[in-house]
Structure 1
Amino acid sequence: MEAARRDLDLMRDSPAAWPQLRYEPATGADGFEYDRHAARRAGLLWAMQYDRRADDLPLLRLLAEQEAVCRRSAPFQGLTEETELAGFLLAEHARVEDVWLHWQIKRANFDTWCGYDVEHLVAAGVQATVDFVRVSAHPDRADVLERLLDDDGQPCVSEDDVDEWAENERSRFPADLATEDPLRWVERAKLIGDTALARRWLDEWAAGRERDKSTLGVLRYELADLGAFALAAQAQRESLRYADTDWERASAWQSLAELERLAGDHRAAWQALGECRRALADVSGWTEVGLGRMYVEQLFLLACSADDELAGVVFAEADRQAGDVPRLPLVVLRAAADAADKVGDQARAEHYRRLRDAEQQRIDVERGRATP
């Protein structure tokens, strides 16, 4: 937070630096497009959450505007916590003229349309906002009125609704850093790429908690997301005791196998896949469902990762199981071809490459990218 606070102080003192916060598409090392300034805007919003000032309104409006641009322009669009935080902080200023800025966020994409609460638009007062929009010449006037009013021309939310919503949002985005949920800071630390900080917040959250099903589920997900696969596997192994049905046991063992493989413990992954197969034996029609295909995929992926001796054993089992599972998806066929190459089985490699290429062709035709 110290870096975010310093940046907020800089922006408060230097409006000339605000253009540095605008949405700017860039391409990451993974080939995906991202907003070069998203993390910096996020840090400023976090700092504003815990240091709210009336004279920050112009800066806050810029941040909210750029969040709207980002949600509209980003490849995966969506609705992020940072966009919601910008909207909430803007709503707290209760300026009726900000209805248009909230509307920009609301209509940015499908996710914001569904998830960005309409209460943002009327945070300055329901009737006051409706009256303001009615007499406006703004080009979005008709669309905003259509969203704010029901079929009888009455506001779709009441003043009491807005008050209740505001209280809930204040609990969700507290002004006191000490009352913040540590898991929120895990996600925020990941956003700015600070894995060590994320681990510290996760450890703080987990300290003293009962390692029940819910806690273990969070730990498994967060640790894996942070690349701590061995610890994630440990949490997943502990959670096996909560798997009550054959389906749940098969799924739990399959998840453990993936984590053990990613952690580099290929023998443990192989053992987990054996347990997964034993559980699948009691799942009716397992070869026809996604869980069965995921099991086969994990076998091929393990064959790709394991040392030569184990890889050969695993590939033989994967190849045998694949024969019983119809309609293997493209991702599995790719792994199968790679695994066959890894173990030096050229005949099976060619077999899986033919299946892979045929499936790719089918997909391309279906999407209109190729002709039959």
Structure 2
Amino acid sequence: MTTTLDHWRDHPERWGELAHHAAREAVLRLLLRDRRDTDAGFLRYLLDQEIRLHDDDEGYADSLGLAALLLNECGEAGDVWQLSEAKYTSFDTSCGLDAFLLFPGGVAATLGYVERSDHPDREEVAADLRDHLAHDPGLEHERPARLAGMRAYFSA
């Protein structure tokens, strides 16, 4: 497997080579050191592959959390749908993925985006986001530190 991001970036025709979990995890580790906002499409693909892995298998692998973190860091509120799918793929993923990752555009922007959307899961996701905020009122303020802590965890 090629271990440079240049091989993968902007080459979606090669992404299928990352079907094996170990190869995908290696690329996610590279992206941890050199993630760019322009990697969002690639990260969506990688997170989708992690969702598929976790949908077929019980348990929780850190690779799912890493993919969710990296996509969250791109800062696009529209990624809330995929991040929500990742969190609720299974009981294990719902416990393993932190709820603050469901706010990729920030708390207010993500919640507003969901509430204004016409997505079929809008009501369910909006209620879930509001529930997380009700149980974790410091989320808005603490989100940057939590992201940094999660990044530090994966960097260790």
TM-score (norm. length: structure 2):
0.88
1:57 alignment partner in structure 2: 40
Counterpart mapping for 1:270-349 below 5 A? none
Whether the aligned pair in 1 keeps the contact of 2:47 and 2:68 (CA below 8 Å) is: yes
Aligned equivalents of 1:121, 1:21: Cα separation in 2: 25
Q: Give unpaired runs (5+ residues) of structure 1.
A: 23-36, 175-179, 181-372
Whether the aligned pair in 1 keeps the contact of 2:36 and 2:74 (CA below 8 Å) is: no
Cα deviation digits, residues 141-176 of structure 1 (max 9, x gap) = 12211211139x9584431131231121122133xx
Taking a change above 3 Å as real, the CA distance of residues 4 and 46 of structure 1, as seen in their structure-2 partners, is farther
Whether the aligned pair in 2 keeps the contact of 1:84 and 1:116 (CA below 8 Å) is: yes
> Is 1:43 aligned to residue 26 of structure 2?
yes
Q: CA deviation at 1:140?
A: 1.5
Structure 1 counterpart of 2:112, from 119, 125, 131: 131
Q: SS of the residue aligned with 2:120?
A: coil
1:280 alignment partner in structure 2: none
Q: SS of the residue aligned with 1:173?
A: helix
Q: CA deviation at 1:13?
A: 4.8
Where does structure 1 differ by over 6 angstroms across 4 or more consecutive aligned residues? none
Whether the aligned pair in 2 keeps the contact of 1:96 and 1:128 (CA below 8 Å) is: yes
- Aligned-pair RMSD on alpha carbons? 2.1
Counterpart mapping for 1:10-159 below 5 A? 10-22=7-19, 37-74=20-57, 77-150=58-131, 156-157=136-137, 158-159=139-140
1:307 alignment partner in structure 2: none
Number of aligned positions between the proteins? 155
Cα deviation digits, residues 89-108 of structure 1 (max 9, x gap) = 11111110010110111111
Q: CA deviation at 1:21?
A: 2.9
Identity of aligned residues (%): 34
Whether the aligned pair in 2 keeps the contact of 1:65 and 1:104 (CA below 8 Å) is: no
Aligned equivalents of 1:84, 1:4: Cα separation in 2: 23
Aligned equivalents of 1:155, 1:123: Cα separation in 2: 18
Taking a change above 3 Å as real, the CA distance of residues 107 and 121 of structure 1, as seen in their structure-2 partners, is same
Taking a change above 3 Å as real, the CA distance of residues 134 and 156 of structure 1, as seen in their structure-2 partners, is farther
Q: CA deviation at 1:4?
A: 5.3
Q: CA deviation at 1:60?
A: 0.9
Whether the aligned pair in 2 keeps the contact of 1:119 and 1:162 (CA below 8 Å) is: yes
Aligned equivalents of 1:14, 1:100: Cα separation in 2: 24
Whether the aligned pair in 2 keeps the contact of 1:4 and 1:44 (CA below 8 Å) is: no
Structure 1 counterpart of 2:145, from 164, 184, 187: 164
Cα deviation digits, residues 90-135 of structure 1 (max 9, x gap) = 1111110010110111111001111211100113211111111011
Aligned equivalents of 1:124, 1:11: Cα separation in 2: 25
Greater C-alpha Rg: 1
Cα deviation digits, residues 256-301 of structure 1 (max 9, x gap) = xxxxxxxxxxxxxxxxxxxxxxxxxxxxxxxxxxxxxxxxxxxxxx
**Paired residue type of 2:18:** L
Q: Give unpaired runs (5+ residues) of structure 2.
A: none
Aligned equivalents of 1:159, 1:19: Cα separation in 2: 37
